[in-house]
Amino acid sequence: MRTYHCFWLLFWAGQPHQSFLTPLSKRTSGFPGKEKVLVLSGNSRRDLHRSKRSWMWNQFFLLEEYTGTDYQYVGKLHSDQDKGDGSLKYILSGDGAGDLFIINENTGDIQATRRLDREEKPVYILRAQAVNRRTGRPVEPESEFIIKIHDINDNEPMFTKDVYNASIPEMSDVGTFVVQVTATDADDPTYGNSAKVVYSILQGQPYFSVESETGVIKTALLNMDRENREQYQVVIQAKDMGGQMGGLSGTTTVNITLTDVNDNPPRFPQSTYQFRAPESMPPDSPVGRIKANDADVDENAEIEYSITEGDGYDMFGITTDKDTQEGIITVKKALDFENKNLYILKVEATNTHVDPRFLYLGPFKDSATVRIQVEDVDEPPVFSRPAYIMEVKEGVPINSVIGTVTAQDPDAAKNPVKYSVDRHTDMDRVFNINSGNGSIFTSKPLDRETLLWHNITVIAAEINNPKQSSRVPVFIKVLDVNDNAPEFAMFYETFVCENAKAEQLIQTLSAVDKDDSYSGHQFSFSLAPEAASSSNFTLQDNRDNTAGIFTRKTRYNRHEMSTYFLPVVISDNDYPIQSSTETVTIRVCACDHRGKMLSCNAEALIHPTGLSTGALIAILLCIIILLVTVVLFAALRRQRKKEPLIISKEDIRDNIVSYNDEGGGEEDTQAFDIGTLRNPEAIDDNKLRRDIVPETLFMPRRTATARDNTDVRDFINQRLKENDTDPTAPPYDSLATYAYEGNGSVAESLSSLESVTTDGDQDYDYLSDWGPRFKKLADMYGAMDSDKDS
């Protein structure tokens, strides 16, 4: 059923025309009795005077989502110039004209061709005009009107998100804001309650609530604990029509997570823990792990462990494993089963991040008792000191005891201990030790001046279990005794001028002593007794470890005496007194009036060897000539080794004749048979060479053919290999001659020496069968046999 709304457009025309007023229909909730009519009116175009016009037009309303089968009727256009004779034609233009909206050009009825959606386009603006059908000229000015789409509740509320995610701290107060959800309705908010949305909660009570108008979700339950439940799923509904029955609705899901706060203190699962630790455990080694449980997570579950009480407070420590939040108990000092075998500790676990809001729940810490039992192990011997320092005087007799080391087995068994010296620290075996009592004694003489400190290592091992051993360093200092005589600090060689005056200082002497003096060295100088009276020089001790040599007479003659050797005795003041005699060399030289040396045995002073410059040059030239001779001799010997194998007038290089004869190839075997070299016993005497005249005067006896003489082949191969690898062989082609004796004769030995060893007579008739070459021998031995027979 259609609802019709009548609208009249009043058109006021100027004088002298009559104006028409078409009353406007009122909008009611029911159906009006008249159809909607738009009246068009105008003045005559033939008037010369034009009056003021006044338009008054209304708007059409059209329901959206029309579901009828016919076109939806919108309204009707009518002009006061229309006489009903069909001379006028109505034209419609604007939004959707001709497509969405059509008009009957004769009657002016407007219809909608399809269903309209207000949410797609709520208002259409169109223009209407009446024209003369015959001339096509408008009879009325164009008028504009509006078609508004009347809204119906055809859209449900839509949330801006399909799923909301929110989080709040656990233990929050009631009414704590969680999140706000928002839903929108595409219907017209100005018409009715189609777009008025109301929120409600379908799932999530009694934990949460939602404000019906704003969509704000808040907590509705006090002290929600994450450790009991962490995730909540809340379903919120948004319904239009103000939530009244028949309204459309939409829903969304809100996932709410309770975040952790530190509302749980750490708790040990047991009050006492027991561990065992061997006494051999080194410091910083872990003994065991303990853990206090905390229901919180992340930083709220971080725990710090500490030892608060116990008799092992200084023996053990505890640290926190940041990954597992476990307390690791470690050894701080070495354990000793014999000294103490049980330790009791009190360990405390405390949260590092405490929330003051929850202090009323109690202290956020817990404690437990830890018992550590020390286990006995077989320990190596322990020395009474970590290191020993001993002193011994140098020069003490061998086997003198210089000190004793002591070690004991710390175990209850108190196993006996034996001692030894680590020979890697005493390679010269200067010291030895008594394996039973640990006394160290010398095995070689000691000299402080050679080595002041001796650092050795002593090993103590259990007799029953030698693997249980320990080491200790022993530092032995060699004390000094006065066993070295003082001596000159340097070699003294000086000169005295021939024109020197008496009591003139010519040299100052000083001395050194290898021995160590605690109070400082005190040396005394004097001339040797044999030179004290007859010497031409005097010695004066300066009492400061120095002495001066002075001349005793006025002049010296270098031709009479060119060199003086002055013996000086040096003594120390230590006990026992040590002294030595040193010699000072004094040469007599010619000097100028200022005492500067001019000439004397200059060569001796300049060159200690006593050789002049000319002699040195001559020696150097001789050495150079000798080196050149050696080099030339070596070069000649090397050149001789590289000379060719054949050195004669008939050098093979000068006797090569080229015939330019290539031969008959591999099939030409008449010129020379290489097989002869391989098997000389298989010579075919019937084959004669074509390149020479045969010289054979008799036919030799044919011998049996041998298959292959490997002896000759090996000999040739060996000599060929040696010649190829010889670095001194000539690079050109050469002839190598091999003296090959063969592998023996079929006649065996012909020596008369062997015949002496035979007792019986020999038969030499077989020599006649060997041919003409052995005819002479056959006649000789045959004649001897004849003489014997006669």
- pLDDT tier at 744, thresholds 50, 70, 90: low
Tokens of 678: 């391989």
Q: Are residues 142 and 72 in the same domain?
A: yes
Q: Residue by residue, what is the 3-state secondary structure of 299-327?
A: HHHCEEEEEEEECCCCCEEEEEECCCCEE
Compute the distance between CA of residue 736 and CA of residue 713 in angstroms, rounded to an integer. Answer: 16
Quick check: 24 pLDDT over 90?
A: no
- pLDDT tier at 383, thresholds 50, 70, 90: very high
- The residue from 340, 359, 375 where one domain ends is 375
Q: Are residues 386 and 471 in the same domain?
A: yes
Quote the pLDDT of residue 668: 52
Quote the pLDDT of residue 705: 47
3-state secondary structure of 463: coil
Q: Are residues 419 and 504 in the same domain?
A: no
Q: Which of the residue ranges 15-19, 288-292, 701-705 would you say has the lowest mean pLDDT?
A: 15-19
Q: Are residues 70 and 140 in the same domain?
A: yes
- The residue from 225, 259, 293 where one domain ends is 259
Q: Which of the residue ranges 700-704, 742-746, 762-766 would you say has the lowest mean pLDDT?
A: 700-704
The H or E element that residue 622 is part of is: helix 613-641
Quick check: 384 pLDDT over 70?
A: yes
3-state secondary structure of 539: strand
Of residues 415 and 773, which shows the higher confidence score?
Answer: 415
Q: Do the domain assignments include residue 39?
A: no
Q: Average pLDDT in the 505-528 region?
A: 85
The H or E element that residue 724 is part of is: helix 710-725
Quote the pLDDT of residue 695: 46
Of residues 373 and 191, which shows the higher confidence score?
Answer: 373
Name, in order, each residue with C-beta under 8 angstroms of 283's C-beta and a sequence gap of 6 or more: 331, 332, 333, 334
For residue range 399-440, what is the model confidence (pLDDT) as tens digits? 999 999 999 988 878 889 999 999 999 999 999 999 999 999
Q: Are residues 430 and 530 in the same domain?
A: no
Of residues 351 and 687, which shows the higher confidence score?
Answer: 351
- pLDDT tier at 116, thresholds 50, 70, 90: confident
3-state secondary structure of 789: helix
Quote the pLDDT of residue 16: 32
Q: Do the domain assignments include residue 45?
A: no
Quick check: 520 pLDDT over 90?
A: no
Of residues 118 and 753, which shows the higher confidence score?
Answer: 118
For residue range 590-611, what is the model confidence (pLDDT) as tens digits? 888 887 888 775 444 444 445 5
**How many other CB atoms are found less than 10 A from the CB of residue 624?**
10
Quote the pLDDT of residue 730: 67
Quote the pLDDT of residue 443: 94
Quote the pLDDT of residue 785: 53
Q: Which of the residue ranges 61-70, 138-147, 363-372 would you say has the lowest mean pLDDT?
A: 61-70
Q: Average pLDDT in the 310-314 region?
A: 86
Within 13 Å of residue 309, how many CA atoms lie on the same side as its CB? 4
- pLDDT tier at 58, thresholds 50, 70, 90: low
Q: Which domain holds residue 252?
A: 158-259
Q: Do the domain assignments include residue 95?
A: yes
Q: What's the CATH number where 589 sits?
A: 2.60.40.60
Quote the pLDDT of residue 674: 52
For residues 198 and 150, the answer to whether their CB atoms sit within 8 Å is no
- pLDDT tier at 579, thresholds 50, 70, 90: confident
Count the residues in the chain.
790
Q: Average pLDDT in the 36-65 region?
A: 49
- pLDDT tier at 287, thresholds 50, 70, 90: very high
Q: How buried is 241 (Cβ within 10 angstroms: 0-12 exposed, 13-18 middle, 19+ buried)?
A: buried
Q: Which of the residue ranges 78-87, 475-484, 638-647, 772-781 would you say has the lowest mean pLDDT?
A: 638-647
For residues 488 and 570, the answer to whether their CB atoms sit within 8 Å is yes
Q: Are residues 456 and 499 in the same domain?
A: no
Compute the distance between CA of residue 388 and CA of residue 421 in angstroms, rounded to an integer. Answer: 14
Compute the distance between CA of residue 59 and CA of residue 144 in angstroms, rounded to an integer. Answer: 9
Q: Average pLDDT in the 641-658 region?
A: 50
Quote the pLDDT of residue 32: 37
Q: Are residues 212 and 245 in the same domain?
A: yes
Q: Residue for token digits 């550590």?
A: 372
Quick check: 364 pLDDT over 50?
A: yes
- pLDDT tier at 256, thresholds 50, 70, 90: very high
Quick check: 51 pLDDT over 50?
A: no
Quick check: 459 pLDDT over 70?
A: yes
Question: What is the distance, to the nearest Å, from the Cα of residue 13 to the centroid of all Cα atoms in its chain?
Answer: 103
How far lies 195's CA from each of 81, 124, 200, 737, 742, in Å? 45, 22, 16, 131, 134
CA-based nearest residue to 637, from 629, 627, 646: 629
Of residues 34 and 306, which shows the higher confidence score?
Answer: 306
- The residue from 358, 375, 392 where one domain ends is 375
Compute the distance between CA of residue 588 and CA of residue 563 in angstroms, rounded to an integer. Answer: 6
Quote the pLDDT of residue 704: 46
Of residues 362 and 745, which shows the higher confidence score?
Answer: 362
Quick check: 738 pLDDT over 70?
A: no
Q: Are residues 475 and 526 in the same domain?
A: no
Q: Do the domain assignments include residue 709?
A: no
3-state secondary structure of 153: coil
Q: Mean pLDDT highest for which of 38-42, 454-458, 692-696? A: 454-458
Q: Do the domain assignments include residue 420?
A: yes
Q: Do the domain assignments include residue 755?
A: no
Compute the distance between CA of residue 214 and CA of residue 546 in angstroms, rounded to an integer. Answer: 116
Of residues 601 and 4, which shows the higher confidence score?
Answer: 601
Q: Are residues 506 and 594 in the same domain?
A: yes
Quick check: 542 pLDDT over 70?
A: yes
Q: Average pLDDT in the 448-476 region?
A: 93
Q: Which of the residue ranges 172-176, 209-213, 231-235, 687-691 would you say has the lowest mean pLDDT?
A: 687-691
Q: Residue for token digits 């808040």?
A: 218
Q: Do the domain assignments include residue 568?
A: yes
Q: Average pLDDT in the 164-177 region?
A: 93
Name, in order, each residue with C-beta under 8 angstroms of 571's C-beta and a sequence gap of 6 or more: 485, 486, 523, 524, 526, 577, 578, 579
Quick check: 39 pLDDT over 60?
A: no
Quick check: 693 pLDDT over 70?
A: no
Q: Are residues 386 and 371 in the same domain?
A: no
For residues 402 and 450, the answer to whether their CB atoms sit within 8 Å is no
Q: Do the domain assignments include residue 787?
A: no
Q: Are residues 285 and 369 in the same domain?
A: yes
Quote the pLDDT of residue 667: 52
Tokens of 434: 């008594």
In this prediction the pTM is 0.43
Q: Are residues 428 and 408 in the same domain?
A: yes
CA-based nearest residue to 651, from 730, 726, 738, 735: 735
Q: Average pLDDT in the 139-146 region?
A: 84
Share of the chain above pLDDT 70, in %: 76
Overall number of domains in the chain: 5
For residue range 237-246, what is the model confidence (pLDDT) as tens digits? 999 888 788 7
- pLDDT tier at 522, thresholds 50, 70, 90: confident
Of residues 286 and 35, which shows the higher confidence score?
Answer: 286
